[in-house]
């Protein structure tokens, strides 16, 4: 049995812990999360444990990435079971997570934080050009909030490597640009999306869904796979480029084939993997990120937004 992780609650505790690692010449990998941990988060932690002397996980529901009307208050907060999950998964292995950073909002936002952008004061970070489209279209303050909190976390933890999931494809592009442009001394690693057996991408927001809706939601990824197979077939037949509209309309008709689902496709796009510009044609070798956001009905009213994507090569 390896030791349980140390729980660190303040920036200064993390800095003291980190200084000791530096003095010992030990490497640190970092997995930022908002908690409600699932196997997708654990896959990032496993990669960090394998590649670094120490792993830090942060659990912080970041207010600045939520608009006033979004689900900040309802977002699942399950600290005790998150800690149990980490111990159950990793205590019996050769290395456990070394430290878990669980800051209060006031620790991360010393000038305070108002969800209404027009009333905010203090320092924020924007990554222009890759934050406005796709998720940014539906959630205009989202990536400013993400880039701001990740800047703060990287500034405090100063990891050799930080781990993100492909599930949030646009977030990965935003973070890579953030690290490049702000000269942050960290490697960014992106790992594949972990899925339920039926293909549904694991997400903390799946906790909002009934079993029946979860089953139905598996069609989101099945549709993306359908589009991928159309693309791959075209490429294997020698196409030098494939019209995005062919791939996207195939996916949409797959979604429409189930008239009972009541899903609303908010967007479905083929984007350049690095610039996230809309692609009219997909060129093999350059490829595309095909991404979607789908609103699915919640039992008892309301809806949950699920996102997913597939990479065409």
Binding site for ligand AMP (CB under 6 A): 33-34, 40-41, 43-44, 164-165, 167-168, 193-194, 201-204
Residue 99: CB atoms within 10 Å:
22
Nearest to 105, CA basis, from 71, 145, 78, 49: 145
Judged by beta carbon, residue 45 or residue 235, the one nearer ligand AMP is 45
At residue 154, the 3 state secondary structure works out as helix
How far are the Cα atoms of 44, 49, 112, 151, 178 from residue 31, in angstroms, in the given order?
A: 7, 10, 24, 13, 16
Judged by beta carbon, residue 143 or residue 230, the one nearer ligand AMP is 143
The verdict on whether 38 is a catalytic residue reads: no
Judged by beta carbon, residue 17 or residue 30, the one nearer ligand AMP is 30
Judged by beta carbon, residue 202 or residue 246, the one nearer ligand AMP is 202
Of 38, 41, 226, 272, the active-site residue reads 41
Nearest to 34, CA basis, from 68, 66, 3: 66
CA distance linking residue 158 with residue 153, whole number of Å: 8
Nearest to 14, CA basis, from 111, 99, 110: 99
Nearest to 219, CA basis, from 111, 292, 301: 292
CA 78 to chain CA mean position, Å: 18
**Residue 156: CA atoms inside 13 Å, Cβ hemisphere, count?**
25
Judged by beta carbon, residue 234 or residue 304, the one nearer ligand AMP is 304
Nearest to 230, CA basis, from 218, 217, 242: 242
Q: Enumerate the active-site residues.
A: 41
């Amino acid at each position: 049995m390896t030791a349980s992780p140390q729980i660190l609650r303040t920036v200064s505790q993390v800095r003291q812990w980190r200084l000791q690692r530096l003095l010992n010449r030990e490497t640190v990998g970092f997995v930022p999360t908002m908690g409600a941990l699932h196997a997708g988060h654990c896959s990032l932690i496993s990669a960090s444990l394998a590649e670094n002397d120490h792993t830090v996980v942060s659990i912080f529901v970041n207010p600045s990435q939520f608009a006033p009307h979004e689900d900040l208050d309802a977002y699942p907060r399950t600290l005790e079971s998150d800690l149990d999950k980490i111990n159950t998964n990793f205590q019996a292995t050769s290395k456990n997570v070394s430290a878990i950073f669980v800051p209060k909002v006031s620790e991360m936002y010393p000038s305070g934080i108002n969800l209404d952008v027009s009333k905010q004061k203090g320092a924020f970070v924007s990554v222009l050009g890759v934050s406005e489209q796709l998720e940014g279209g539906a959630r205009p303050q989202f990536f400013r909030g993400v880039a701001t909190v990740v800047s703060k976390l990287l500034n405090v933890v100063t990891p050799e490597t930080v781990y993100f999931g492909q599930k949030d494809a646009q977030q990965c592009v935003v973070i890579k640009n953030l690290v490049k442009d702000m000269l942050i001394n960290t490697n960014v690693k992106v790992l594949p999306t972990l899925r339920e057996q039926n293909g549904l991408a694991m997400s903390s927001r799946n906790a909002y869904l009934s079993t029946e809706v979860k089953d139905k939601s598996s069609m989101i990824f099945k549709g993306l796979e359908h589009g991928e197979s159309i693309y791959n077939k075209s490429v294997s037949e020698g196409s030098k480029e494939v019209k995005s509209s062919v791939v996207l309309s195939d996916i949409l008709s797959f979604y429409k084939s189930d008239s009972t689902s009541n899903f609303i496709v908010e967007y479905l796009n083929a984007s350049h993997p690095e610039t996230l510009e809309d692609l009219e044609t997909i060129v093999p070798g350059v490829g595309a990120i095909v991404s979607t956001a789908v609103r699915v009905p919640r039992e008892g009213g309301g809806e949950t937004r699920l996102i997913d994507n597939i990479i065409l090569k």
